[in-house]
Structure 1
């Protein structure tokens, strides 16, 4: 018969998880409760408000988040794979330069980025929202570290079968990296969806507002519409929940394994 302490350990773990789950879900419960305090008509009022194009802002946020996530996965994985596998004398210096950009505060880059976007005529344009976020130095570093542990035997087998370096990457490396890529995709999508300051500066026309900018317009000193704000916040988290549900099996595998072993 197992000791009493061994029998109590699973119960204590489940209790700890239950308490953590309640604490985690409590803000979401309060959000939905306050947003629907006046009934489902609150959601209808939110989407029918002529001053705030909430439906359009949801579409804009979806477009921006999807394009930025896809762009970062493609560009950063290619850059990380190149730094990990392509023989180049200055690869170490390039990596050091990429990593060094992580130490530059984001606020420092706002003014030069705004000047560039403005000179291209991308103010109040989705291109101004999407293009500056297509590259991430952190993701390049993470992909490089992942590809360093990727089994080279699989790549060599592809080269023997006549695949080019691009063919090896696209047909062998990518399919075997879906778990890790999904973990990066979830983080990127949430980060892009929750952007506020950059869209606030670039999206000067309401037709290009993202959902975060639209939500901020509901809370003003002159006319704070708290109920609509809570309802909008509750609606705005649904795409994030959907992405997590779709990618959770890949996310768990990517976090658990972090990579393949040779």
Structure 2
């Protein structure tokens, strides 16, 4: 009896110790991930001497809102307009690229046409080509068509996402065939089945890939830098890079601009994180 009594508390301690260890690891991981955001916010409200000081300061001596005022008051770097350009670019790229990928994925998964396997192999093959190889030819083509310093020149090349097409194909392979057969009995074409049955049941997948596409378009730097050569066509990322030059580096304003630029992404992630996880999980990557 005494032996059983001594074993029970020991068994109770193990789950408690395991839970405590798990919480410690989670807290440590959260601190490591949140540390850059803390430094970013801290520096955004500091003055230049405080940011460049060799002594560490946990908090700024005062909330210097002048950094944010100087950020939007700079006429050489129209940051407000750059934010608007980024928003327009991301808002157009996310839904259009997701829709095109969904349509292509459905066609590759459900429409039995000759050469479907060859098309799929070509799409997969594009994933193996580095972006640096296709960057210059794409720029030459877009430039020859008059796309430099235009909105369509920044948006159109990003509308075709091979990886999203493969994910949608894998997702649609798991759809029940009975759903499509019921639509065919009602006289629907392939387009009608896709629009009325498939698309409404793909909301989670579309939301997840749409959110990821929005984040990718918002963070894109090299392509908008090459296409938007006029300051009025800069995106937020290009405008931020202009605060670091060979002559001057305005660190406090740069940190303030970074805080403003990442705010839409933080909101997007908080709103769509559940859909992102569910969508990638539901894709399944079936062959």
TM-score bracket, shorter-length normalisation: over 0.9
For residues 102 and 208 of structure 1, the distance between their equivalents in structure 2, rounded to whole angstroms, comes to 29
Q: Would you say 1:190 and 2:215 are equivalent positions?
A: yes
Q: Would you say 1:25 and 2:34 are equivalent positions?
A: yes
Corresponding residue SS for 1:142: helix
- Give the aligned partner of residue 226 of structure 1: 251
Q: Deviation of residue 227 (structure 1)?
A: 0.7
Kept after mapping to 1: 8 A contact 2:78/2:231: yes
1:40-81 per-residue CA deviation (whole Å, 9 max, x = no partner) reads 221111011111000011010111111111111111110010
Corresponding residue SS for 2:148: coil
Q: Would you say 1:56 and 2:81 are equivalent positions?
A: yes
**How does 1:229-244 map onto structure 2 within 5 Å?**
229-244=254-269
Ranges in structure 1 where 5+ consecutive residues have no aligned partner:
none
1:85-144 per-residue CA deviation (whole Å, 9 max, x = no partner) reads 001121111100111011111111111111111111111111110001100111111111
- Give the aligned partner of residue 35 of structure 1: 44
Q: Deviation of residue 244 (structure 1)?
A: 1.6
- Give the aligned partner of residue 145 of structure 1: 170
Q: Would you say 1:208 and 2:233 are equivalent positions?
A: yes
Q: Deviation of residue 256 (structure 1)?
A: 4.2
The structure-2 alpha-carbon separation of the partners of 1:75 and 1:47, relative to structure 1 and needing over 3 Å to count, comes to: same
- Which of the two has higher C-alpha Rg? 2
The structure-2 alpha-carbon separation of the partners of 1:153 and 1:10, relative to structure 1 and needing over 3 Å to count, comes to: farther
Corresponding residue SS for 2:125: helix
Match 1:166 to one of 191, 202, 216 = 191
Q: Deviation of residue 245 (structure 1)?
A: 2.4
The structure-2 alpha-carbon separation of the partners of 1:14 and 1:258, relative to structure 1 and needing over 3 Å to count, comes to: farther
Kept after mapping to 2: 8 A contact 1:178/1:250: no
Q: Would you say 1:75 and 2:84 are equivalent positions?
A: no
Q: Would you say 1:89 and 2:98 are equivalent positions?
A: no
Q: Would you say 1:114 and 2:152 are equivalent positions?
A: no
- TM-score (ref. length: structure 1): 0.94
- Give the aligned partner of residue 45 of structure 1: 70
Q: Deviation of residue 170 (structure 1)?
A: 1.7
- Give the aligned partner of residue 154 of structure 1: 179
1:134-188 per-residue CA deviation (whole Å, 9 max, x = no partner) reads 0011111111111111222222223333333222212221221121222212221
Relative contact order, CA 8 A, sep 6+: which one is greater?
1
Instruction: State which drifts further: 149-158 or 119-128.
Output: 149-158
Kept after mapping to 2: 8 A contact 1:183/1:254: yes
For residues 168 and 18 of structure 1, the distance between their equivalents in structure 2, rounded to whole angstroms, comes to 48
Corresponding residue SS for 1:52: coil
Kept after mapping to 1: 8 A contact 2:212/2:276: no
